[in-house]
Chain A
Amino acid sequence: MHLTQGTFSYLPPLSDDEIAAQIRYALDRSWAVSIEYTDDPHPRNVYWEMWGLPMFDLKDPAAVLQELNRCRAEHGDCYIRINAYDRSKGRQTTALSFIVNRPLVEPGFRVERTEFADRQVKYTLHAYATDKPAGQRYGPAGS
């Protein structure tokens, strides 16, 4: 199941050139760019691991792509996303966030129904990947 989220969730995966173009857009607006990764695909998982600190004062996307490729080399079996933070006055918010890497195989989610009083049902999303311990969820790195 192809997981989507973030700014370009409605598009097929971006190529590296397209990723560079989006990073350039962010840098041209002085947004700080950061890289994060995770192997917990649940949509409510907002705390992804940081790949280094956010990068400030960059001028050129090549610097971010270099870090992204280092992150891919180490966590190629994870979801990786790029965030751009707009700290200009009055915004203080993530202006752009999109997935730039995903595991080869994405097993997806099952719906769990829990019955309780009066035949009510609670629905829960359960990611198959998280049945395995963190770090072993999507096969060996780079696969």
Chain B
Amino acid sequence: MMPPSPPGGVRVPFGIPPAQTDAASPADPNGHTVPVASSAGAHPSADHPAKENREVTPEELRAAIDEVLARLDRDLVGLVPVKSRVRDIASLLVVDRLRRAQGLSADPPSLHMSFTGNPGTGKTTVALRMAEILHRLGYSRKGHLVVATRDDLVGQYIGHTAPKTKDVLKRAMGGVLFIDEAYYLYRPENERDYGAEAIEILLQVMEDNRDDLVVILAGYADRMERFFASNPGIKSRIAHHIDFPDYTPDELMQIADLMLEKMMYRFSPAAREAFARYLQRRMRQPHFANARSVRNALDRMRLRQATRLTAQPGTPSREELMMIEAADVLASRVFTTSPTDVEAT
């Protein structure tokens, strides 16, 4: 059962909010006039004016999310299982909306999720898209993502944790709270650890404020599993588990191409071939972080390209400005060090 909404609680409106434009704070065209809330009975939401009781057609709902799903497809290479799970959840929400429109009542679907996978597999990126989908379907009033880690939630001394956690939760209301490496909240080896207090508050809010925010917990799969095993209360409130697989070398190559394209760079054929060999080596080294390592590698290659171009005489051509050459790739320390070295450069 849904908990009764608190006195004065704001309900999720039954209408499709307009596509979100960046920060949810349009400038006030009139400066400082303060409109007084409209007459009694009208929903006060400025975001979704007066649409709530209108019947929404399946086409409208589809259109509302198809664009987000298409963008997810376009912007993220691979991740087939993740994309299909996101699509499943979106369909569930669409059907829930249609059922409610027909008066078929059921408990609103539970939306808290866990995203498990190694670093750089796209968890944060997908969480952003998920927030957008929830917003478009009216399950999230603002659709913003608040990212938090243990340090944001847990305090240093007695009485410090509760206000810290509550402050983060308040900022996340109306949107999605993304807790990265959630298992660090729980430190069984230290029974005085304040993390337990944060978990307790979190649990309460996940249960009582389901209208107000969606919680996504993220981190390594094995550690998350252990975290859930010792915190069954949290586990039972998570409805959707999505696992993010590591990328294959091919996918990493495609990700590199995509990132370069967005930055208006490209590999020369020799550079591309060198980068494939770079990936093979880099993947075997410690601290390999999938797409994030690709991004970092590309940033360093841009740096080398810039050094090379400024060292050569004359103004570089447009072609030269765009091209990453094999030399920019091969100068990496990955090619000269053994696989056990700590960080690649």
Residues of A within 8 A of B (CB): 7-8, 11, 14-22, 24-25, 27-30, 55, 57-63, 65-69, 86, 95-96
Least CB distance from B166 to A in Å reads 9
Mark interface residues in B177-220 (1 if CB within 8 Å of A CB, else 0). Answer: 00000000000000000000000000000000101100000000
Contact flag A58-B10 (CB < 8 Å), given A21-B44, A24-B44: no
Contact flag A24-B46 (CB < 8 Å), given A17-B37, A62-B173, A65-B10: yes
Are B171 and A61 in contact, CB atoms less than 8 angstroms apart? no
A62, B12: Cα distance in complex, Å: 11
Give 27 CB contacts A-B under 8 Å.
A11-B36, A16-B7, A17-B8, A17-B40, A20-B8, A21-B38, A21-B45, A21-B46, A24-B46, A28-B25, A29-B25, A30-B25, A58-B171, A58-B173, A59-B171, A60-B141, A60-B142, A62-B9, A62-B141, A63-B169, A63-B171, A63-B212, A65-B9, A66-B6, A66-B170, A69-B6, A69-B8
CB-CB < 8 A to B209: which residues of A?
62
Are B212 and A18 in contact, CB atoms less than 8 angstroms apart? no
Q: Which of A18, A27, A29, A60 contacts B36 (CB 8 A)?
A: A18
B313 interface hit (Cβ, 8 Å): no
Are A59 and B142 in contact, CB atoms less than 8 angstroms apart? yes
Contact flag A60-B175 (CB < 8 Å), given A19-B8, A24-B44: yes
B241 interface hit (Cβ, 8 Å): no
Q: How many A-B residue pairs have CB under 8 A?
A: 95
A-B contacts besides A8-B36, A60-B142, A63-B169, 8 pairs, CB < 8 Å? A11-B36, A18-B37, A18-B44, A25-B34, A30-B25, A59-B174, A62-B174, A66-B173
Are B170 and A55 in contact, CB atoms less than 8 angstroms apart? yes
CB-CB < 8 A to A62: which residues of B?
9-10, 141, 173-174, 209, 211-212
CB-CB < 8 A to A20: which residues of B?
8, 10, 44
Are A69 and B7 in contact, CB atoms less than 8 angstroms apart? yes
Q: Which of A16, A28, A95 contacts B8 (CB 8 A)?
A: A16
Mark interface residues in B304-319 (1 if CB within 8 Å of A CB, else 0). Answer: 0000000000000000
Q: Tell me whether chain B's interface is mostly helix, strand or loop, or mixed.
A: loop
Least CB distance from B259 to A in Å reads 30
Are B37 and A14 in contact, CB atoms less than 8 angstroms apart? yes
Least CB distance from A53 to B in Å reads 9
Among B6-38, those with CB < 8 Å from A are 6-10, 24-26, 28, 32, 34-38
Contact flag A60-B35 (CB < 8 Å), given A20-B8, A21-B44, A65-B8: no
A21, B46: Cα distance in complex, Å: 7
Are A21 and B37 in contact, CB atoms less than 8 angstroms apart? yes
Contact flag A24-B45 (CB < 8 Å), given A59-B173, A60-B142, A60-B173: yes
CB-CB < 8 A to B167: which residues of A?
55
A68, B212: Cα distance in complex, Å: 16
A18, B44: Cα distance in complex, Å: 6
Residues of B within 8 A of A (CB): 6-10, 24-26, 28, 32, 34-38, 40, 43-47, 141-142, 144, 167, 169-171, 173-175, 209, 211-212
Q: Which of B10, B32, B142, B175 has the most CB of A within 10 A?
A: B10
CB-CB < 8 A to B35: which residues of A?
25
Least CB distance from A8 to B in Å reads 7
Q: Which of A15, A25, A63 contacts B40 (CB 8 A)?
A: A15
CB-CB < 8 A to A55: which residues of B?
167, 170
Are B6 and A29 in contact, CB atoms less than 8 angstroms apart? no
CB-CB < 8 A to A14: which residues of B?
37
A30, B32: Cα distance in complex, Å: 13
CB-CB < 8 A to B170: which residues of A?
55, 58, 63, 66-67
Are B7 and A96 in contact, CB atoms less than 8 angstroms apart? no
Are B46 and A57 in contact, CB atoms less than 8 angstroms apart? no
CB-CB < 8 A to B144: which residues of A?
59
Which chain B residue shows the least CB distance to A84? B34
A17, B40: Cα distance in complex, Å: 8
A55, B211: Cα distance in complex, Å: 20
- Nearest 3 A/B pairs, CB to CB: A60-B174, A16-B8, A21-B44
Are B171 and A57 in contact, CB atoms less than 8 angstroms apart? yes
Q: Which of B6, B32, B34, B142 has the most CB of A within 10 A?
A: B34
CB-CB < 8 A to B38: which residues of A?
21
A29, B46: Cα distance in complex, Å: 13
Q: Which of A11, A24, A57, A86 has the most CB of B within 10 A?
A: A24
